[in-house]
């Protein structure tokens, strides 16, 4: 586990901008698990795993906000955020096994808020029992699986009792940063509650190199007890902003029965400008991926709009307009095709 400059320098030679971060660090701490550290090529200063986890002084530039999705104003209890009518997010802890430099929740992550208490769980469960319109809860943070098995037991029990129809999304990067966490005792606990209602495993894997044998083995434990896996990647400059990298990632995810679900545009959160890809480039990548990938392997390129505007799917436009009773399309290969409007018959 690397959490200081001295420990980091045992593995890599710091670049100027990385060194400077230690002079005036940002609020998100340095923490890189041994698993992730072993994936970083020390000879490559632009290594894609390094860019995600080694801090950089550009994080301290004060642009944008710390809460682009306006989660604070949508908080209904100490830890529960109710922004969309039918789903809510529960901040189970501020801790992770490693801190991603692109974390969109850096207002909260790594702030020493600690694990959700039993009282906070009870408050959230109380709200959910009164708001049966919420049918999905994202168990997020921080990383849910930094909680002890006992606290997870209490959490699952309280939420399942609050509303037996709830779908619980288990949002975790531990699958990459600390796959050893998914030992027999934790998996037995998850299996016990999976009979009372569905869990969905939501992973964040951004680069093919993160999909290690250990990671795949951990995901298989969920699949083997009937919990499906979905991946939410973040589009990051110098990490995965190429169609080749994302094509490889999505095909390997699908092969390992992890559905590529979202490819998120990096949120407008303070300290992440140097990692953000321009939307125009993101759209070019999306268009290229759509040509190369099957529907099952294709993630949805999505932006979470600032000021709590919600999620919008970003995709290249194939419908060019309407003329003389026909819709005019451009095919992915750039050719034109016509499709009749309702009622229009071929002569
Ligand atoms: S694992 Fe998630 S919550 Fe933790 S630092 Fe990374 S993006 Fe943020």
CATH value at residue 286: 3.20.20.70
Domain co-membership, 251 together with 332: no
**Residue 283 near residue 316, CB atoms below 8 Å:** yes
Q: In the annotation, is 215 catalytic?
A: no
Domain co-membership, 342 together with 237: no
The CA distance from 8 to 261, in Å, is 33
Domain co-membership, 346 together with 204: no
Lining ligand 1 with CB less than 6 A are 96, 99-100, 103, 105, 109, 141-143, 173
For 229-278, how does the pLDDT look when each residue is reduced to its tens digit (9 = 90+)? 999 999 999 999 999 999 999 999 999 999 999 999 999 998 999 999 99
**With bands split at pLDDT 50, 70 and 90, how would you rate the model's confidence at 71?**
confident
- Residues 6+ away with beta carbon under 8 Å from 283: 301, 314, 315, 316
Domain co-membership, 184 together with 103: yes
Kindly state the helix (H) or strand (E) to which residue 53 belongs, with its residue range: helix 48-53
| From 84, 132, 278, 320, the catalytic residue | 84
Among 91, 115, 143, 210, residue to substitute to test ligand 1 (most atoms within 8 Å of Cβ): 143
Q: In the annotation, is 290 catalytic?
A: no
Average pLDDT over residues 105-112: 92
pLDDT of residue 324: 93
Domain co-membership, 93 together with 119: yes
pLDDT of residue 163: 96
Going by CA atoms, what residue is nearest to atom 6 of ligand 1?
100
The CA distance from 137 to 163, in Å, is 11
Count: domains in the chain: 2
**With bands split at pLDDT 50, 70 and 90, how would you rate the model's confidence at 347?**
low
Among 173, 215, 266, residue to substitute to test ligand 1 (most atoms within 8 Å of Cβ): 173
Domain co-membership, 248 together with 203: yes
Domain co-membership, 75 together with 173: yes
Q: What is the pTM of this model?
A: 0.95
Domain co-membership, 261 together with 332: no
pLDDT > 90? residue 332:
no
- Residues 6+ away with beta carbon under 8 Å from 339: 326, 327, 329
The CA distance from 92 to 228, in Å, is 21
Bridge partners, residue 145, by sequence: none
Domain co-membership, 328 together with 205: no
**Atom from ligand 1 closest to the CA of residue 141:** 3
**With bands split at pLDDT 50, 70 and 90, how would you rate the model's confidence at 109?**
very high
Q: In the annotation, is 51 catalytic?
A: no
pLDDT > 90? residue 13:
yes
Domain co-membership, 156 together with 264: yes
The domain in which residue 330 lies consists of 318-347
Domain co-membership, 234 together with 334: no
Domain co-membership, 296 together with 338: no
- Residues 6+ away with beta carbon under 8 Å from 317: none
Average pLDDT over residues 25-29: 90
**DSSP structure class, residue 334:** S
Going by CA atoms, what residue is nearest to atom 1 of ligand 1?
173
Give me the chain's average pLDDT, please: 95
The CA distance from 280 to 246, in Å, is 17
pLDDT of residue 61: 82
**With bands split at pLDDT 50, 70 and 90, how would you rate the model's confidence at 195?**
confident
Q: What is the 99 CA–ligand 1 centroid distance (Å)?
A: 6
């Amino acid at each position: 586990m690397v959490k200081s400059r001295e420990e980091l320098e045992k593995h890599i030679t710091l670049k100027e901008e990385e060194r400077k971060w230690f002079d005036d660090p940002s609020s998100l701490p340095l923490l890189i698990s041994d698993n992730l550290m072993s994936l970083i090529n020390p000879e490559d200063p632009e290594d894609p795993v390094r860019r995600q986890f080694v801090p950089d002084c550009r994080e301290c530039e004060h642009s944008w906000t710390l809460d682009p999705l306006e989660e604070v104003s949508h908080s209904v209890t100490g830890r529960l955020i109710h922004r969309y009518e039918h789903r809510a997010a529960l901040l189970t802890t501020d801790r992770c096994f490693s801190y991603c430099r692109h974390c969109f929740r850096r207002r909260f992550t790594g702030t020493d808020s600690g694990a959700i208490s039993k009282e906070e769980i009870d408050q959230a469960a109380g709200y959910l029992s009164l708001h049966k319109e919420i049918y999905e809860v994202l168990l997020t943070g921080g990383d849910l699986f930094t909680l002890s098995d006992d606290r997870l037991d209490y959490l699952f029990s309280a939420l399942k009792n609050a509303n037996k129809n709830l779908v619980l999304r288990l949002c975790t990067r531990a699958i990459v940063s600390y796959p050893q966490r998914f030992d027999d005792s934790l998996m037995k606990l998850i299996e016990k509650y999976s009979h009372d209602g569905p869990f969905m495993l939501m992973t964040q894997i951004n680069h093919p190199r993160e999909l290690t044998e250990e990671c795949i083995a951990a995901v298989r434990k969920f699949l083997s007890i009937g919990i499906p896996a979905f991946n939410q990647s973040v589009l990051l400059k110098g990490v995965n902003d190429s169609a080749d990298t994302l094509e490889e990632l999505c095909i390997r995810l699908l092969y390992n029965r992890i559905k590529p679900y979202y490819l998120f545009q990096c949120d407008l959160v303070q300290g992440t400008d140097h990692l953000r890809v321009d939307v125009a480039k993101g759209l070019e990548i999306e268009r290229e991926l759509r040509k190369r990938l099957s529907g099952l392997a294709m993630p949805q390129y999505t932006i979470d709009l600032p000021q709590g505007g919600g999620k919008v799917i970003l995709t290249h436009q194939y419908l060019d307009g309407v003329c003389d009773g026909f819709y005019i399309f451009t095919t992915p290969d750039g050719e034109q095709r016509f499709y009749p409007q309702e009622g229009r018959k071929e002569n």
